[in-house]
A and B are shown apart, each in its own frame.
Chain A
Amino acid sequence: MTETFIDESQNRSLWGDVWAQYKTHRGALAGTAVFLFILLAVFIGPFIYDVDPQYLDIRAKNQGPSWEHLLGTDQLGRDMLAQVLQGGRVSLAVGVIAMFISLVLGTFIGLMAGYFKWLDGPLMRLTDLFLALPLLPLLLVIIMLFRDTLRSMFGPETGIFLLIVFIIGITSWMNTARIVRGDVLAQKEREFVLAAKSIGTPSRRIIGRHIFPNVLSPIMVSATLGVANAIITESALSFLGLGFPSDFPTWGRLLFDGANYMTLTPARVIWPGLAISLTVLSVNFIGDGLRDALDPRIRGR
């Protein structure tokens, strides 16, 4: 009894508690492990497995797995494993940056709509309007229309990267905004906000210092969902042939290119697809675990 008391008084902190709860979620732990593995493989892997993903070797085309090419080769003799690793960098980068844009937008709009009453109506109507837009068709249309301009402005790779990250970001903030707004509405009626107001704290600081830290947990959960969503959207666009060009592989693009050679080398479809699915699955499990760990009502049990 005394022991636990001392233990707790010394070691308990908010993030310690969150971690303690997170550890009990087996799916989340497995998800974290898989996600870390994918991150390591994608960012450190190419230094160990240093085959040039763009190296053409026509004589070794459409091969199955061998010691020379661990996952086989494509129709131009490029090494699949090197391409999957290279593609993963782009896919993950798109996922994280697009999530970041949508998170910043969603949090900002949610905070404004929740805190300032006169902004609530217009901002929420805007959110509803965005939710009513047919996103996939619109994304396709926007990419088709602006692709060439951006390519000539920033070069083929950077241009399309900026375009995809930007449009995924600005079309996926709505759920974050709604959740944050709901939480802000609840938080701003609390006594500590009243106390802060009564000593004359400006709104800017009330939002930044008192409300924002208290709505951080739903934001973190929607961050994980946002990464998963952005990765899937990017691969879907690339899969429909409207994403990245084929000499700049992402997982979706590899899947799209591989689909034509499905009967010959089915492995070309399996590996990139597996990479997308595993990443999204692990991120979703992390989100699930975070949701439980950040919820104080569940954490106590």
Chain B
Amino acid sequence: MFNFTIRRLIFTIPTLLFISFVIFFILDTAPNDPTGNLPLTIPPEVREKIRVSLGLDKPMFFRYLLWCQQFFINEPLNMIEQWFDITIGDGERLRVQSWATRSPVVDLVVERLPQTLWVVGMSYVVGILIAIPIGVISAYKQYSWFDQIGTFVSMLGFSVPTFFTGLLLIVIFSVQLQWFPSIYDTTLRVTDWDSFVLQVKQMIMPVMVLAFFNAAQISRFMRASMLDNLQQDYVRTARAKGLKEKTVVLVHVLRNSLIPVITVIALGVPQVFGGAIITEQIFKVNGLGQLLIIGIQGADIPLVQTLTFIFAVLIVLFNLIADILYGLLDPRIRYD
């Protein structure tokens, strides 16, 4: 198991490097000009100077290596410096700069990260908490009315796109009933009970939209996994021993059924971040997804490159976590 983990970890490094190169390559070969959005009155020689100042006169491979150095070496060193309050070397390092805001990309990301994590994380937790009981009950009472309705609702959950459920919720709860605000206010600080209530109110809709989508998928997996386990011999043994039905289902079956579901949950995390791009756009949450959209619209290549790569890191990382967790939790699956 340890060997496997090490091998997988080592394999992720070329994978990530390759992905970062693919992203860089796509962004670079694209036929568009970063100075294209500037006013037409700027004379061509100034335009050329702007291009040079952005580092665009260098060959592509050189710029890729520069980005790698900035992202993989300089930024982590900066982070270590900030955390431990020490200086390494002369402390003067080039950082990945956003073209639009002229500030380091990583600072922008750090600024936006909490909102995304709150909304996305909360929705995932809520989704899991809804999905597991539904999955357990629909498997235990297979083909009952509860199961039928559950199947239909989960079909609905992954057929109806989040941008429609989001808008629908806004129409119903913000426009018609006026219960919740339709725009997420990120300047709100939770200091007392009232502001806490406000925070909960503005989080309900974005969280629910994502949670519904997640719950739909996870509850299907939970149901299938429960059904597999309920047929097993050890369940009959447990019942024959005279264990209470509750113990059999909730301790013996549930624990074993959760093993594949946990890997599914881990694999779903990056997907949820992707879904958050849309949800953030609907509810005007200023998180990472919105930052990406702004970057794309403003042709801010370094920002887009870094953010897209962070999404890729999330995918690779959670794939790794899922693989390792599966091996750790299920003794039948040991990779060596």
Residues of A within 8 A of B (CB): 27, 128-129, 131-138, 140-142, 144-146, 148-149, 228, 232, 235-236, 239-242, 252, 255, 259, 262-263, 266, 269-270, 273-274, 276-277, 280-281, 284-285, 288
How far, in whole Å, are A136 and B152 apart by their CA atoms in the complex? 27
Residue among A136, A146, A255, A262 with max Cβ neighbours from chain B (10 Å): A136
Closest A residue to B31 by beta carbon equals A149
Chain A residues lying within 8 Å of B314, measured Cβ to Cβ, are 134
Return B297 CB to nearest CB of chain A, in Å: 8
Question: Given the interface contacts A144-B296, A236-B161, A285-B155, does A136 sit within 8 Å of B277 by beta carbon?
Answer: yes
Residues of B within 8 A of A (CB): 15, 18-19, 22-23, 26-27, 30-32, 152, 155-156, 158-161, 163-164, 167-168, 170-171, 175-176, 270, 274, 277-278, 281-282, 292-293, 296-297, 299, 304, 307-308, 311-312, 314-316, 319
Main secondary structure of the interface of B (DSSP, over half): helix
Chain B residues lying within 8 Å of A288, measured Cβ to Cβ, are 155
Question: Given the interface contacts A236-B278, A255-B167, does A132 sit within 8 Å of B155 by beta carbon?
Answer: no
Return B306 CB to nearest CB of chain A, in Å: 11
Mind listing 26 A-B residue pairs with CB under 8 Å?
A: A27-B152, A27-B155, A133-B19, A133-B312, A134-B270, A134-B274, A134-B312, A137-B307, A138-B26, A140-B296, A144-B296, A145-B27, A145-B31, A145-B32, A239-B278, A255-B163, A262-B167, A262-B171, A270-B168, A273-B167, A276-B161, A277-B159, A277-B161, A280-B161, A281-B156, A284-B155
Contact among B167, B168, B311 with A134 in the assembled complex (CB-CB below 8 Å) = B311
Chain B residues lying within 8 Å of A269, measured Cβ to Cβ, are 164, 167-168, 171
Contact among A138, A140, A149, A285 with B293 in the assembled complex (CB-CB below 8 Å) = A140
Is the beta-carbon distance between B274 and A137 smaller than 8 angstroms?
A: yes
Inter-chain contact count A-B, CB under 8 Å?
124
How far, in whole Å, are A141 and B27 apart by their CA atoms in the complex? 8
How far, in whole Å, are A132 and B23 apart by their CA atoms in the complex? 12
Main secondary structure of the interface of A (DSSP, over half): helix
Residue among A129, A132, A280 with max Cβ neighbours from chain B (10 Å): A132
Chain B residues lying within 8 Å of A145, measured Cβ to Cβ, are 26-27, 30-32
Residue among A27, A262, A273 with max Cβ neighbours from chain B (10 Å): A273
Is the beta-carbon distance between B161 and A137 smaller than 8 angstroms?
A: no
Is the beta-carbon distance between A132 and B312 smaller than 8 angstroms?
A: yes
Contact among B18, B159, B171, B297 with A284 in the assembled complex (CB-CB below 8 Å) = B159
Is the beta-carbon distance between A135 and B274 smaller than 8 angstroms?
A: yes
Is the beta-carbon distance between B175 and A263 smaller than 8 angstroms?
A: yes
Question: Given the interface contacts A236-B278, A262-B171, does A140 sit within 8 Å of B30 by beta carbon?
Answer: no
Closest B residue to A280 by beta carbon equals B159
Chain A residues lying within 8 Å of B26, measured Cβ to Cβ, are 138, 141-142, 145
Chain A residues lying within 8 Å of B304, measured Cβ to Cβ, are 137, 141
How far, in whole Å, are A244 and B170 apart by their CA atoms in the complex? 24
Is the beta-carbon distance between A132 and B316 smaller than 8 angstroms?
A: yes
Question: Given the interface contacts A141-B27, A145-B26, A262-B171, does A132 sit within 8 Å of B164 by beta carbon?
Answer: no
Is the beta-carbon distance between A133 and B278 smaller than 8 angstroms?
A: no
